[in-house]
Chains A and B, each alone.
Chain A
Amino acid sequence: MDIYLPIAGLSVNALVIVGLGGLVGLLTGMVGVGGGFLTTPILIFYGIPPAVAVASATTQITGTSISGVLAHRRRRGVDVRMGAVIIAGGIAGSIAGGFLFRLLQQGGQIDTVIAFLYVILLGSVGLMMAREAATALDILKPRASQAERPARRHNPLIAMLPMRWRFYRSGLYISPLAPLGLGFVSGLLTVLLGIGGGFIMVPAMIYLLGMSAQVVVGTSLLQILFVTAVTTLVHATTTRSVDIVLAGLLLLGSVIGAQYGAWLAQRMKPELLRMILAIVVLAVAFRMALQLGWRPEEIYTVQLL
């Protein structure tokens, strides 16, 4: 069943796209990540122009994160004040990222930068997750030093920042500059990579900011919701590469997949879920690394002026 994508300017098999959305949605529902890191590379492998893939994947993440935000809000798992600060940083980052994206596009280095960032981010996060999940599943022995070292609540660098605010839900008294900066980075990544950035934000919120665990996922989702919405607008007005038909097809699959994923998540060991996620993340990183190092199929690329 072929459908013509008006912005990407080519026909795709609608069932493949809906299926991809469903797969990503399943993962979203199971482990609570946006899944953009999976959607964007697969769309690019499928032949969608990178700019369109990044922009449309961003739109899709907005849709998959809304149900998560609503669910966490019902369970009072969202720190709105912390979220607002991070979102403010995220919006600034996403606008700055829009300019950076254009600059890299004109210089012809956007593909390399995207692939490079993917390899570094996904590779390191994937390794961390895999090790942690393997330890929890008793595949790996926990390192003695790690087990004995007392968990440090506050990062000394962040404690040094001036102007402290109280974040009651997160149980923190820290400078808003830290979450603001974190938001900025995630906004940048959202524009450049078409990811929500949850898999970077969640560890950063826990280990850098020291937020209490029950509000981390909800707050991260809230931030993803807003930042991806703003990023969609940034893409729509600057690169003009949001394909509403492509995003719609992806959403159709992913919102349904997410519901089944959530249902499945209640029936599986959480460590196993994290292991699955780690393997998927590492596989994507590996594929991207191959793309960088292997002789590409196309030596020449064409860009319209």
Chain B
Amino acid sequence: MRRLQALLPALFAPPFFLAAWVARAGAARRKAGALALAFLAPLMMAQAQPRLVPDISHRQVEIRYSFTGAELLLFGAIVYPGGRGPEPGTDVAVVLKGPLEPIVVREKQKVAGIWMNVERVRFRSAPSFYAVASSRPLSQLVDERIAAIYELGLGSLQLSPGGGASADVMQRFERGLIDLRRRNQLYAEYPRGVEISEGVLYRARISIPARVPVGTYTAETFLIRDGRVIAGAAREIRIEKLGFERFVAEAAEQWSFAYGVTAVALSLLLGWGASAAFRRRYG
């Protein structure tokens, strides 16, 4: 970026000045300049492309005592350059991704009549939550390569499995993991979940189940045309436990012994209290 800024006056300078500048520069400098120009070309074009102005209904999701899940509204506007009107064939995909976690996936098999965990595969970076909504099914918007680059769609997640197992075993475990988390509503695809009105405003609803893990989530919005991502924007959402729930979860982690003593004391108090109360009533 800094290189671009340094080159900017040169671009707008009259040709003779540019020539003088190039002449003064050393061979290495010239090479770098040419490289920067090559990078700049598509960006200059990109400025003529539409831009995204995204927003989210909640920047923060609070997990409290009666939390049964939440629904996020991801919305925004597509701004076309030069006051141009909306252009048809522009699609939007919205991805909400939870913090990445290393996990072990185990597979049950029948051994001597008993179903037990036999094989396992480690995934170094599985998103704890992943939902994608798009204005048309993703397969119609992008090809596999683009989908893999931007992690668009459940089939294109980069889970980085640990080595050891063969490719088809990995695939089997990946499918198993995705299927399991789909049914737990931790992974979701909404093939027509983005609604674009007047070609300018878009919005998508993504629901978050109660058993969602806490952490910083990213909401990425992609503007897609002709199979290419022409603009993108990201926002962060924090999902956290608050109040009593946060206090309990923190206490269990940080003051685990005191937490255990409290749990025992609570149960003794309740047990003793109930028996005392009933003895008074019934003799």
Contacts and interface: CB of A to CB of B under 8 A. Distances in A.
Given A235-B260, A237-B260, A70 B275 contact: yes
Interface stretch (A75-83, A141-149, A247-255): A247-255
A157 interface: no
B257 A236 contact: yes
Contacts of B165: none
Interface stretch (B6-14, B51-59, B113-121, B229-237): B113-121
Nearest to B270: A251
A90 B268 CA distance: 19
Contacts of B106: 108, 300-303
Interface stretch (A131-139, A189-197, A210-218, A290-298): A290-298
B115 A252 contact: no
B213 to A, nearest CB: 7
Contact of A10 (B105, B210, B253, B282): B210
Nearest to B121: A300
Interface in A95-114: 108-109, 111-112
B180 A298 contact: yes
Contacts of B246: 6
Given A294-B115, A299-B108, A300-B180, A247 B257 contact: no
Query: Could you say which of B270, B271, B282 has the most chain A C-beta atoms within 10 Å of its C-beta?
Result: B271
B116 A302 contact: no
Given A4-B210, A112-B116, A65 B248 contact: no
B267 A62 contact: yes
Interface string B244-283: 1110110011001101111110111011111100100010
Interface in A221-273: 229, 232-233, 235-237, 240, 242, 244-245, 247-248, 251-252, 255-256, 258-259, 263
Interface string A274-301: 0000000000000000011111101111
A86 B69 CA distance: 46
B271 A67 contact: yes
B248 A244 contact: yes
Contacts, number: 178
B209 to A, nearest CB: 8
Interface residues of B, number: 59
A71 interface: yes
A237 B257 contact: yes
Given A7-B249, A233-B260, A60 B68 contact: no
A3 interface: yes
B246 to A, nearest CB: 8
Chain A interface category by residue count: 35 or more
A11 B275 contact: no
Interface in B160-210: 173, 176-177, 179-181, 210
A176 interface: no
B95 to A, nearest CB: 21
A304 interface: yes
A263 B281 CA distance: 12
B173 to A, nearest CB: 7
B270 A300 contact: no
B272 A67 contact: yes
Contacts of A298: 108, 180
A64 interface: yes
B122 interface: yes
A59 interface: yes
B151 interface: no
B117 A301 contact: yes
Contact of A245 (B64, B107, B248, B278): B248
Contacts of B260: 232-233, 235-237, 242
Interface stretch (B23-31, B79-87, B96-104, B138-146): B96-104
Contacts of A256: 274
Query: Could you say which of B113, B256, B273 has the most chain A C-beta atoms within 10 Å of its C-beta?
Result: B256
B5 interface: no
Contact of A300 (B122, B177, B261): B177
Nearest to B180: A300
A242 B264 CA distance: 10
B228 interface: no
Contact of A293 (B114, B176, B213): B114
B17 interface: no
Contacts of A116: 114
Contacts of A242: 252, 259-260, 263
Given A66-B272, A236-B257, A302-B105, A59 B67 contact: no
16 contacts: A7-B252, A63-B266, A108-B106, A112-B117, A229-B268, A237-B257, A244-B259, A247-B267, A248-B270, A263-B282, A293-B114, A301-B105, A301-B180, A302-B106, A302-B181, A303-B106
Closest 7 CB pairs of A and B: A236-B260, A67-B275, A63-B267, A255-B274, A300-B176, A63-B271, A66-B271
Interface of A: 2-4, 6-7, 9-11, 59-60, 62-67, 70-71, 108-109, 111-112, 116, 229, 232-233, 235-237, 240, 242, 244-245, 247-248, 251-252, 255-256, 258-259, 263, 291-296, 298-305
Given A229-B268, A295-B115, A300-B108, 5 more contacts: A2-B210, A7-B252, A112-B116, A263-B282, A304-B102
